[in-house]
């Protein structure tokens, strides 16, 4: 009996040794992917801008003095002729009084010389000199009266106060800006274009403006490139530009942030150009490539031609077609033929 049990134990042990362990299941590597051409306008440039008025003006006094009253603040709606600020009128009143006194003296002298000339006591030349002095005094009196009126700054058109540039108690010189007024009328979007994206842009190019403020879906407006500065801003080294809006409505409030999509003529002519994430580029020496995902989720390396590197991605000029899926991150960890687990969401 004992021999039988021993024999069965030996047979079982030998059978167990003869079994081979099952190979471990191969784990598919998750990979973030990007669908080429999935987003409209991938070969367009997107800018952040601000809603501005087509016409703005910096208003200031015609003469210098101390501001004693500012009647409006930023954001106030103003009408044509409305007082906006006032200067101290003391000096202007004294000058007006002195000029008026000089005019009265000149008027009396001219009247007396007319009477004397009629009686033959003074020459015509003396009378002409007094008449000329009267005209000069009258002009000086009128000038000082105008300067007295200039101590009140008034709005010349309907609009909105965009900014206040001086405060009550401040001494300003003639012509120094005190208020910036945005006039009623057309609204535009002010943007700044980097020099790397300047090529191909022309005045009149179509644009799409998206306004995110408000409830519900974002408001979208059609526009065009109305103005492009010929010289860069000395501080930001970008080129200021203005986008004119079509069919603007009341939702466009001054100062709102808007997103502008602008397609250059050079970018629009390249139908095969697509923007892909910078992390999708696999660099092999001087050759650029991307990992393309096949229908069975296997990846293969494909050479591509990069037209330009931008802040928001790489512009591919050749090698990809719309609808193809590529690996967007972790490209240096993949091997040709390897299957991946697709993770959506790369932008």
Let me know whether 291 and 191 are in one domain. Answer: no
Let me know whether 197 and 263 are in one domain. Answer: yes
Which residues face 32 on adjacent strands? Answer: 343
Q: Would 326 be classed as within a structural domain?
A: yes
Characterize 98-134 residue by residue with b for buried, 16 or more Cβ atoms within 10 angstroms of its Cβ, and e for exposed.
ebeebbeebeebbeebeeebeeeebeeeebeebeebb
Q: Which long-range contacts (CB under 8 A, 24 or more apart) does 73-79 make?
A: 73/161, 73/164, 74/161, 74/162, 74/163, 74/164, 75/160, 75/161, 76/160, 76/161, 77/158, 77/159, 77/160, 78/155, 78/158, 78/159, 78/160, 78/161, 78/181, 79/155, 79/158
Between helix 90-119 and helix 124-149 the angle, nearest 10°, is: 160
Let me know whether 80 and 160 are in one domain. Answer: yes
Which residues face 47 on adjacent strands? Answer: 260
Place of tokens 């990069």: 306
The enclosing domain of 74 has a CATH number of: 2.40.50.100
Q: How far apart are CA 17 and CA 130, in angstroms?
A: 138
Q: Would 156 be classed as within a structural domain?
A: yes
CA proximity to 135, closest of 167, 161, 110: 110
Query: Helix H segments across 24-89?
Result: none
pLDDT higher than 90, residue 90: no
Let me know whether 171 and 249 are in one domain. Answer: no
137 CB-near residues (< 8 Å, 6+ apart)? 99, 102, 103, 105, 106, 107
How many CA atoms lie less than 13 Å away from 279 in the CB half-sphere?
12
pLDDT for the residue numbered 13: 57
* Structural domain harbouring 123: 89-150
264 CB-near residues (< 8 Å, 6+ apart)? 45, 197, 199, 200, 201, 205
Q: Would 15 be classed as within a structural domain?
A: no
Indicate the range of 14-28, 250-264, 288-302, 322-336 predicted with least confidence. Answer: 14-28
Strands 340-343 vs 29-35: parallel, antiparallel or unpaired: parallel
Q: Would 25 be classed as within a structural domain?
A: no
Q: Would 93 be classed as within a structural domain?
A: yes
Mean pLDDT, range 188-207, rounded to an integer: 86
Last residue within a domain, chosen from 251, 269, 287: 269
Q: For residue range 313-341, what is the model confidence (pLDDT) as tens digits?
A: 888 888 888 788 899 888 888 888 888 88
The enclosing domain of 336 has a CATH number of: 2.40.420.20
* Number of domains into which the chain is organized: 4
Let me know whether 173 and 62 are in one domain. Answer: yes
Q: Would 248 be classed as within a structural domain?
A: yes
Let me know whether 180 and 74 are in one domain. Answer: yes
Q: For residue range 95-122, what is the model confidence (pLDDT) as tens digits?
A: 888 888 888 988 898 888 888 888 888 8
> Is the Cα torsion angle 150, 153, 154, 159 positive or negative in sign?
positive
The enclosing domain of 130 has a CATH number of: 1.10.287.470
pLDDT for the residue numbered 208: 87
Give the best-scoring range by mean pLDDT among 83-87, 193-197, 202-206, 311-315: 83-87
Last residue within a domain, chosen from 219, 253, 269: 269
86 vs 38, which has greater pLDDT?
86
Mean pLDDT, range 238-256, rounded to an integer: 85
pLDDT for the residue numbered 171: 93
Let me know whether 189 and 280 are in one domain. Answer: no
Q: How confident is the model at residue 39 (pLDDT cuts 50, 70, 90)?
A: low
Let me know whether 68 and 180 are in one domain. Answer: yes
Let me know whether 177 and 283 are in one domain. Answer: no
CA proximity to 44, closest of 204, 189, 206, 188: 206
pLDDT higher than 90, residue 149: no
pLDDT for the residue numbered 270: 44
pLDDT for the residue numbered 186: 86
The enclosing domain of 235 has a CATH number of: 2.40.30.170
pLDDT for the residue numbered 319: 86
At residue 77's C-alpha, the angle toward residues 74 and 80, to 5°, is 120
Mean pLDDT, range 207-214, rounded to an integer: 77
How many CA atoms lie less than 13 Å away from 201 in the CB half-sphere?
26
Let me know whether 246 and 336 are in one domain. Answer: no
Q: How far apart are CA 325 and CA 292, in angstroms?
A: 6
106 CB-near residues (< 8 Å, 6+ apart)? 130, 133, 134, 136, 137, 138
Let me know whether 156 and 251 are in one domain. Answer: no
Return the structure tokens found at 180: 């910036």
Mean pLDDT, range 220-237, rounded to an integer: 90
pLDDT for the residue numbered 330: 85
Last residue within a domain, chosen from 206, 240, 269: 269
Q: Would 237 be classed as within a structural domain?
A: yes
Q: How confident is the model at residue 308 (pLDDT cuts 50, 70, 90)?
A: confident
pLDDT higher than 50, residue 268: no
Let me know whether 207 and 321 are in one domain. Answer: no
pLDDT higher than 60, residue 2: no
pLDDT higher than 90, residue 143: no
Helix (H) or strand (E) holding 111: helix 90-119
Q: Would 22 be classed as within a structural domain?
A: no
Local structure of 123: helix, strand or coil: coil
164 vs 315, which has greater pLDDT?
164
**C-alpha Rg value of the chain to the nearest Å:** 40
């Amino acid at each position: 009996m004992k021999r039988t049990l021993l024999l069965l134990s030996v047979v079982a042990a030998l059978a167990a040794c003869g079994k081979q362990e099952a190979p471990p299941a191969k784990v598919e590597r998750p990979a973030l992917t990007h669908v080429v051409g999935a987003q409209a306008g991938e070969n367009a440039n997107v800018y952040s801008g601000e809603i501005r008025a087509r016409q703005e003006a910096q208003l200031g006094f015609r003469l210098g003095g101390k501001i004693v009253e500012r009647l409006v603040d930023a954001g106030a709606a103003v009408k044509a002729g409305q007082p906006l600020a006032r200067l101290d009128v003391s000096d202007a009143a004294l000058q007006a009084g002195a000029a008026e006194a000089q005019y009265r003296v000149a008027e009396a002298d001219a009247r007396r010389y007319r009477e004397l000339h009629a009686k033959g006591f003074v020459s015509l030349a003396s009378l002409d000199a007094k008449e000329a002095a009267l005209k000069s005094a009258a002009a000086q009196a009128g000038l000082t009266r105008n300067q007295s009126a200039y101590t009140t700054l008034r709005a010349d058109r309907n609009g909105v106060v965009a900014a206040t540039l001086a405060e009550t108690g401040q001494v300003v010189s003639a012509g120094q800006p005190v208020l910036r007024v945005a006039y009623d009328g057309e609204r535009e979007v002010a943007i700044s274009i980097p020099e790397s994206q300047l090529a191909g842009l022309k005045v009149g190019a179509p644009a799409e403006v998206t306004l995110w403020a408000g409830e519900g879906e974002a408001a979208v407006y059609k526009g065009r490139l109305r103005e492009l500065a010929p010289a860069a801003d000395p501080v930001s080294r970008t080129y200021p530009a203005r986008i004119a809006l079509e069919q603007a409505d009341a939702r466009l409030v001054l100062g709102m942030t808007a997103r502008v999509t602008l397609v250059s003529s050079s970018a629009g002519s390249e139908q095969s150009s697509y923007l892909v994430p910078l992390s999708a580029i696999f660099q092999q020496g001087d050759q650029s490539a991307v990992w393309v995902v096949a229908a069975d989720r296997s990846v293969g390396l494909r050479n591509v031609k990069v037209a330009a590197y931008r802040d928001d991605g790489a512009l591919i000029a050749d090698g990809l077609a719309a609808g193809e899926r590529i690996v967007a991150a972790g490209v240096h960890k993949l091997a040709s033929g390897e299957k991946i687990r697709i993770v959506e969401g790369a932008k």
